[in-house]
């Protein structure tokens, strides 16, 4: 499956899409209240097929006229969303994973609805997408390949409308490659420390825009709640946040593509990002290691590059890559340079970790001298 994202042109007709998304939000909250009420009465999980039949009956009542605004399949998809959310909650609860059940959402903050076989029509030649009988023009950045399965209409915090088109694109045939292998150690000062010396530094887009973000936040806090000035200040702040996110997203994609072209096998470490966020806060969010790994795996699938993740409990920084001696003093993160007490080799902490990650990922343990 492949997903295409296109932005709609700004038009007065977009108000209709905003109303339809808000109607989907009303449907979501109503379905969630039915789930909660059914569980209190019977102590059981509400079947989604029963819920869909109930929603079909509600369409005949004037009070629930919003169910007719955005298509029958989109209404059924909202019921399926809640069903998936409750299934995930109960499965996590059984595995004793800390979680919370689905919650009610503010209608103005509800984001999207999904159309399946009906309710849309696509004309690629004229860049027009028809949704529920209304034509909308979109920015076509690329041609769509494959059969369209679903069309999702989504709005962001700025009020812009995007369409996400999911297709069953044909699998790309990747030829056999004989490239190089590399190990990467994630860090705070350097985004990626490579085993072969080709390090990558992160531009830290949030930090670069921090002054403008702080000023915009102060301007927003001074505005009166409910005023137009506050609405404009909120949009200004949202644009700055979106700019930083887009810059980071673009950097991750370009870097992932370059690495997949250059290397045949990439070994990385499996990080506990949530724990790192508690220690280092905004910088971890600015680096966005998890997003980069997800993008790297996606690009690797197109180029035939193998991504190997080394376990998070592997002592990559403490092992000497020359003799395999383990130095427990390196546990302290302040130690950036250290000398092996056994063979006397001098190591840079991150470079040594990258080499050990590469060897562990390839199944090659450090050579240890026999006693």
* pLDDT for 319: 82
Centroid of chain to Cα 105 = 20
Backbone angles phi, psi at 221, to 5 degrees: -70, -25
- Give pLDDT, residue 240: 94
3-state class of 316 per DSSP? Answer: coil
Task: Give the integer Cα–Cα distance in Å for 122 and 147.
Answer: 11
Cα separation values, 20 from 111, 145, 241, 353, 359, Å:
10, 28, 26, 52, 54
Helices (H), 194-312: 205-208, 210-222, 228-262, 273-280, 282-287, 289-303
pLDDT of residue 366: 44
**What is residue 5's predicted lDDT score, i.e. its pLDDT?**
93
pLDDT at 370: 31
Report DSSP letters for 60-107, one per residue.
TSGGGGGGGSS-HHHHHHHHHHHHHHHHHHHHHHHTT----------G
Distance CA 38, CA 116 (A): 28
Please give the pLDDT value at position 196: 86
Report pLDDT for 285.
87
pLDDT tens, residue order, the chain (371 aa): 889 999 999 999 999 999 999 999 999 999 999 999 999 999 888 999 999 999 999 999 999 999 999 989 999 999 999 999 999 998 998 998 888 899 999 999 999 999 998 899 999 889 999 999 999 999 998 889 889 999 999 999 898 999 999 998 776 666 556 578 899 988 888 899 898 888 899 888 999 999 999 999 999 999 999 899 999 999 999 999 999 999 999 999 999 999 998 898 999 988 888 888 888 888 888 898 999 999 999 898 888 888 998 888 888 877 887 787 777 777 777 777 777 877 777 888 888 888 888 888 888 544 443 33
Nearest to 186, CA basis, from 304, 117, 241, 266: 266
Per-residue pLDDT at 178:
59
Phi (first) and psi of residue 267, to 5 degrees = -105, 125
């Amino acid at each position: 499956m492949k997903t295409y994202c296109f932005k709609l042109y700004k038009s007065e007709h977009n108000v209709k899409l905003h109303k339809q998304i808000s109607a989907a939000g009303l449907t979501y909250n109503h379905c969630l209240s039915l789930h909660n009420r059914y569980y209190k009465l019977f102590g059981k999980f509400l079947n989604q097929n029963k819920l869909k039949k109930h929603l079909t009956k509600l369409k005949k009542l004037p009070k629930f006229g919003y169910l007719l605004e955005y298509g029958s399949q989109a209404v059924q998809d909202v019921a399926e969303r809640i069903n998936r959310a409750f299934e995930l909650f109960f499965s996590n609860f059984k595995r004793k994973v800390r979680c919370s059940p689905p919650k009610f959402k503010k209608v103005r903050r509800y984001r999207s609805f999904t159309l399946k076989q009906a309710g849309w029509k696509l004309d690629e030649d004229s860049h027009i997408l028809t949704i529920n009988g209304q034509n909308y023009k979109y920015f076509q950045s690329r041609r769509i390949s494959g059969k369209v399965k679903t069309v999702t209409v989504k709005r962001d915090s700025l009020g812009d409308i995007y369409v996400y088109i999911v297709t069953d694109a044909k699998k790309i045939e990747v030829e056999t490659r004989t490239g190089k292998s590399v190990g990467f150690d994630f860090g705070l000062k350097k985004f990626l420390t490579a085993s072969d010396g080709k390090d990558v530094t992160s531009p830290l887009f949030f930090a670069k825009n921090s002054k403008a973000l702080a000023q915009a936040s102060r301007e927003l806090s001074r505005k009166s709640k409910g005023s137009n000035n506050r609405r404009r200040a909120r949009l200004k702040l949202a644009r700055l946040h979106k700019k930083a996110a887009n810059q980071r997203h673009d950097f991750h994609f370009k870097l992932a593509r370059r690495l997949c072209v250059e290397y045949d096998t990439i070994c990385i470490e499996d990080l506990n990002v949530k724990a790192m966020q508690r220690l280092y806060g905004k910088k971890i969010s600015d680096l966005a290691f998890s997003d980069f790994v997800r993008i790297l795996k996606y690009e690797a699938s197109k180029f035939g590059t193998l991504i190997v993740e080394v376990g998070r409990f592997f002592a990559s920084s403490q092992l000497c890559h020359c003799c395999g001696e383990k130095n427990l003093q390196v546990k302290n993160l302040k130690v950036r340079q250290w000398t092996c007490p056994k063979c006397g080799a001098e190591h840079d902490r991150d470079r040594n970790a990258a080499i050990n990650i590469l060897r562990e990922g390839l199944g090659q343990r450090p050579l240890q001298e026999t006693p």
